[in-house]
Copies of this chain bind each other. A is one copy, B any other.
């Protein structure tokens, strides 16, 4: 991709992706949901540093972009679960590369 040509179409598709995934929480939420459906409280516990207000806002945006579904079950009390969608799982390669780069960046920064 970084091969010296930066065509507007590529710029647009990267911009599209970044606008959907903007911020430091959405990809983390999707990553945690990749191990299975979770209640709000579980997400809040597993993602250190996120406030309930932010988590609630990010889940709504992820739902709007068809990356997460929200399901209410009555067993007998109403219970809400969040689950990653197949479209959400299509971000696996992005997460993979971010994971690898995060390791590289940490070694580059700590090395200096």
| CB atoms of B24 and A18 under 8 A apart | yes
| A66/B108 in contact, CB under 8 A | yes
Contact of A14 among B13, B18, B102 (CB under 8 A): B102
Majority SS at the chain A contact face: helix
> Looking at the complex, which of A31-39, A54-62, A74-82 is the stretch in contact with chain B?
A31-39
**Is there an interface contact between B23 and A22, defined as CB atoms closer than 8 Å?**
yes
Q: What are some 19 contacts across the A-B interface (CB < 8 A)?
A: A4-B34, A4-B36, A6-B34, A13-B100, A13-B102, A13-B106, A14-B28, A14-B98, A15-B24, A15-B28, A16-B102, A16-B106, A17-B98, A17-B99, A18-B24, A18-B28, A66-B109, A91-B101, A93-B97
